[in-house]
Amino acid sequence: MSEALKITSLRGGAIDAIRAADLDLKTELAKESARRWFARRLSLRSPLDAPLPDRPGRPEKPELVPPTQVKKRSLHTIKGRIALLHAIAHIELNAVDLALDIVARYATEMVPHSFFDGWMQVAFEEAKHFRMVRERLRDLGADYGDMPAHDGLWQAAHATRNDLTARLAVVPLILEARGLDVTPSLQAKMRETGDLESAAVLDVIYNDEKGHVAIGAKWFRFLCARERRDPARTFHQLVRANFRGPLKPPFNDIARAEAGLTPSFYRSLTSTSSG
Is 126 an interacting residue with respect to Fe ion (CB under 5 A)? yes
Nearest distance in Å: CB 77, Fe ion:
25
| 142 Cβ contact partners less than 8 Å away, ≥ 6 residues apart | 82, 85, 86
Nearest distance in Å: CB 175, Fe ion:
9
* DSSP-based three-state secondary structure for 75: coil
CA distance 157 to 160: 6
Of the two residues 9 and 149, which places its CB atom closer to Fe ion in the complex?
149
CA distance 256 to 210: 8
User: Measured at CB, which residue is nearest to Fe ion?
Assistant: 212
Of the two residues 29 and 201, which places its CB atom closer to Fe ion in the complex?
201
Inter-residue contact 229 to 199 (CB < 8 Å): no
Of the two residues 11 and 129, which places its CB atom closer to Fe ion in the complex?
129
Site for Fe ion in 94-113 (CB under 5 A): 95
Kindly tell me which residue out of 36, 128, 129, 167 binds Fe ion, with binding defined by CB under 5 A: 129
Please report the beta strands in the chain, taking only residues with DSSP state E, as ranges in sequence order. 64-65, 149-150
Inter-residue contact 11 to 46 (CB < 8 Å): yes
Kindly tell me which residue out of 36, 86, 212, 236 binds Fe ion, with binding defined by CB under 5 A: 212
CA distance 224 to 226: 5
Nearest distance in Å: CB 96, Fe ion:
8
Residues that bind Fe ion in the complex, under the rule CB under 5 A: 92, 95, 126, 129, 176, 209, 212
